Amino acid sequence: MQNTPELLHSGDKVAVLSSARLITLQEIQPAVNLFDSWGLDVCLGSTIGKKCGQFAGSDKERAEDIQHMLEDKDIKAVFFARGGYGTVRILDIVDWQPLKTNPKWLVGYSDVTAALMHVFFTLNMPSLHAIMPVNITDNSDNTAVLTLKNALFTGTNRLTAKAHKLNIQGDAEAVMVGGNLSVIYSLTGSESFGDTAGKILFIEDLDEYLYHIDRMMQALKRAGKLSGLKALVVGQMSGMHDNAVPFSQDAYEIIYNCVKQYNYPVCFGIPSGHIGTDNHALLHGVKTSLHIDDDGVTINQSLL
């Protein structure tokens, strides 16, 4: 049985902290103001404003900050302030077991994929792949913010996208998991990246060389993570790089050629990932219906 957090309501207490790169209060003040306007009581983690190299405090300090928020039964959601790099370093330091009896929303994307994947595969707990406080500005009337709020307060999510020439049409209904491809790849072989058979896998990435995309996809394929999927959903592959001698395929073509042999639907370019205010929230670890046809892509998710 799934260990599902309760939906948020006005008056709920939520936390903002950083599991990865350093962040200042000034950088996240618009997000704090936004959460206040939703009626949420914001508790700032001790990592906000800390510095240890590029990190928001040492591994121990970042782990202790998360631990405190996990053990606080009044905290209903933990917003990871930003990504960068560092969450994977503390996965095994944090005791995630309090979430078994007191599940709460973990919210973030990019590097935070490590935490979202870990709590699903070890605790069967859903989370939310969505915009983070560092990305929130004073202008909050945008897709990323609206879908973040809708998912947290209603437990529903609907996404539509245009058709892509590489899409493999079809329908699927299964739990969706995934996130940043580079982070998922780094979890391969650990308990944080369990069996994907019968699931919809979502991937996106930023600032990678094209041959790196191919290497990661080949690794997932050889590890058996791609063959048993119900479907593959590919978000934004932003800011890709090529070598002096071109790879001769773009990121979508690399992914398509890696999975085209399998008999399941695949869609490309959905508006989720590193695309700023257009980063559409996705419920992670939640049953999802997917439809792909000539007109485009429809994704529906619900906790109900």
Report pTM: 0.97
List the end-to-end C-alpha distance of the chain, in Å, as a whole number.
Answer: 14
Domains observed in the chain:
13-154 (3.40.50.10740), 158-302 (3.50.30.60)
The tokens describing 8, both together, are 């948020």
Question: Mind listing the pLDDT tens digit for each residue in 38-71?
Answer: 999 999 999 999 999 999 999 999 999 999 999 9
Output the pLDDT for position 23: 98
Give Cβ neighbours of residue 86 (< 8 Å, ≥ 6 apart).
Answer: 19, 20, 21, 54, 55, 56, 59, 62, 111
Reduced to 3 states (helix: H, G, I; strand: E, B; else coil), residue 206 is: strand
Output the pLDDT for position 304: 78
Q: Give the residue ranges of the chain where pLDDT is below 50.
A: none
Q: Return mean pLDDT, the chain.
A: 97
Output the pLDDT for position 1: 62
The tokens describing 146, both together, are 């609206």
